[in-house]
Amino acid sequence: MSLLKLKATTKDYLWGGNKLVQDFGKTPAGEVTAESWELSCYPGSESVIENGEFANKTIIEYIEKNGRGVLGSKCEQFKDFPVLIKFIDAKKDLSLQVHPSDEYAKEHENQYGKTEMWYIIDAEKDAFLYYGFNREIKKEEFAARIENQTLTEVLNAYPVKKGDVIFIESGTLHAIGAGILLAEIQQNSNVTYRVYDYGRRDKNGNLRELHVEKAMDVTTLAPVAEVKPNNGHIASCKYFTVDKVVISQKDDTKFCGNVGKDSFLHVLIVDGSGVIRCENEEMVYKKGDSFFLPAGSGNYEIEGCCEALLTYEE
């Protein structure tokens, strides 16, 4: 098979809303649905294949059955599957947090670190996120502001709108703000160090755990140099490359490409509907759908009216 439709795992984190269920057709995770993990090989949260001979099998089971060649030669440098792709619906503010580098995460968590990118699908008026510091600070000030809960005063409050792209390297203090719906492409890791969580309690009435000492070890204390896309990509790093595809009715065209043996391709439908084809296979798609095309699948085309994110290894 060269065209695998994936079913996401959903999460009910306390800051989530209901847009992923109402607008994207995702399975409810509970009273709220904060995230849907669209392409995930993370243990316990693996995506499930919906079609064909591997229907109801996880993507991990598919890879084990067919061999790592389905990931492509570019993935040979990684011990595990390199990426994790999500939709995120932030009805409320997320905690202030930071992710470690590979080196720190392997030493302290036995996982990869986490570099990620956000593509803003929708944002309410005046929505913003926190993205690094607004000036360079000392470690002592960082610690003091965590203690007296004034950290947001020295953070870069970054207004966002539909279509914005934010690239977040490991070590960057950040938080998604309320009223933002986005797609996240990240390393295959779930290591997060919370610094401040507004004193919120979980559904059991407990304060959520903070990880201040580790956060202080890994946080970059200078303003972030904004990373600009290049070579037509909206994001590109050693862990993933992401392209945006828009097909409008006025174009009256298809988007065509080729999946070679060097990398898999993941197609995330951000909006719209139509048909996706690969070699002799064809499937209808709609907003929120997620497809995995294994390395060596050959020619593919996306037809219809849509906005999509393509993720692969370059």
CA-CA-CA-CA torsion sign (77, 115, 86, 297): negative
Q: Look up tokens 């914005």; give the residue.
A: 164
Q: How far is CA 152 from CA 14, 206, 253, in A?
A: 21, 23, 46
* Rounded-to-integer distance, Cα 158 and Cα 177, Å: 10
Instruction: Identify whether the C-beta of residue 170 lies closer than 8 Å to the C-beta of residue 117.
Output: no
Give the number of other CB atoms < 10 A from CB of residue 209.
9
Catalytic residue among 68, 145, 194, 277: 194
**4 has which bridge partners?**
292
Active site residue 208: no
Which residue type occupies 305? C
DSSP state of 184: E
Pairing of strands 35-39, 128-133: unpaired
* Rounded-to-integer distance, Cα 280 and Cα 276, Å: 11
**105 has which bridge partners?**
none
Q: Phi, psi at residue 39, to the nearest 5°?
A: -125, 105
- 30's CB contacts (< 8 A; 6+ apart) are 12
State the catalytic residues: 194
